[in-house]
């Protein structure tokens, strides 16, 4: 079983729709969960992180965490073409290295 | 804002050359990392450093070495570049408290081509 699993995509959604990106992880000791956005040819940039079960909202982004199910997701509301990118999930166990998922490629269609 | 800079955005070298990639961060972070990223393989950790003069091997250290003489600077060295080291190289630095405040930031990346 891979440490971090994400659907590779591409996930295609129409402009204005909600994009739902999912991530499962194997390390039950993971404590914080990070979402990065990476445009083609660019480096990953931090979007948000979550460490408590439930939802965390930041603008159009909502992270959802369910530690019992070892599942974290990122919802993007009112998706825009500029949201088209690869989204990386990264669970983190305090004091250790981040573990990055393979990423999900999102395509928002105008 | 955290700033992580890398010495070059694009670099072209010849097989057998010694290559230096430099990374500088301005946030007094203890931890720094070097990754390479290749299509279909994701981010792979090459080396990391938890403090000055400390270094630890990551998942794919073969063919690479690192140097961290100052807290803000972490260098990746390819002793003898080979074509299979053609890749995007990403430096990152991280706050470290051992807790929920830890956050990792990436530099802009260096696209290295070895001919």
Whether A31 contacts chain B with CB within 8 A: yes
Which chain A residues touch B103 with a CB distance below 8 Å?
34, 46, 49
Which chain B residues touch A97 with a CB distance below 8 Å?
33, 45, 48, 58
Chain A with chain B: Cβ pairs closer than 8 A: 42
Please say if the pLDDT value at position A42 is more than 80: yes
Mutate to test the interface with B, among A5, A7, A43, A94 (most CBs of B within 10 A): A43
* Mean pLDDT of the residues in chain B: 93
User: Are B110 and B10 in contact, with CB atoms under 8 Å apart?
Assistant: yes
User: Are A30 and A50 in contact, with CB atoms under 8 Å apart?
Assistant: no
Give burial (CB, 10 Å; 0-12/13-18/19+) of B86.
middle
- Alpha carbons A33 and A48: distance in angstroms, whole number: 9
Strands A104-109 and A11-14: parallel
* A96 — pLDDT class (breaks 50, 70, 90): confident
Whether B38 contacts chain A with CB within 8 A: no
What does the radius of gyration of chain A's CA atoms come to, in whole angstroms? 13
Give pLDDT, residue A8: 84
Least confident of A74-78, B54-58, B98-102: B98-102
- Alpha carbons B49 and B61: distance in angstroms, whole number: 13
Q: Which of A41, A88, A94 sits opposite B98 (nearest CB)?
A: A94
> Would you call B102 and A42 a contact, using CB atoms and an 8 Å cutoff?
no
The neighbouring-strand residues paired with B22 are B75
Please say if the pLDDT value at position A11 is more than 80: yes
């Amino acid at each position: 079983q891979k440490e971090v699993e994400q659907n590779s995509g591409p996930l295609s959604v129409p402009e204005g729709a909600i994009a739902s990106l999912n991530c499962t992880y194997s390390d039950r000791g993971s404590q914080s969960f990070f979402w990065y956005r990476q445009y083609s040819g660019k480096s990953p940039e931090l979007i948000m992180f979550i460490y408590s079960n439930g939802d965390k909202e930041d603008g159009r982004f909502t992270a959802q965490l369910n530690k019992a199910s070892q599942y974290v997701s990122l919802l993007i509301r009112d998706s825009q073409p500029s949201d088209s990118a690869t989204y990386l999930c990264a669970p983190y166990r305090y004091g250790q290295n981040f573990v990055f998922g393979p990423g999900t490629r999102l395509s928002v269609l105008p | 804002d955290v700033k992580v800079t890398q010495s070059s955005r694009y670099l072209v070298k010849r097989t057998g050359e010694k290559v230096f990639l430099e990374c500088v961060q301005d946030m007094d972070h203890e931890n720094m990392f070097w990754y390479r990223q290749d299509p279909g393989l994701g981010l792979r950790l090459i080396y990391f450093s938890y403090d000055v003069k400390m270094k630890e091997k990551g998942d794919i250290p073969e063919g690479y070495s690192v140097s961290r003489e100052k807290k803000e600077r972490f260098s990746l060295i390819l002793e003898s570049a080979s074509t299979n080291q053609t890749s995007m190289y990403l430096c990152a630095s991280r706050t470290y408290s051992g807790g929920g405040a830890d956050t990792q930031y990436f530099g802009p990346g260096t696209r290295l081509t070895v001919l």
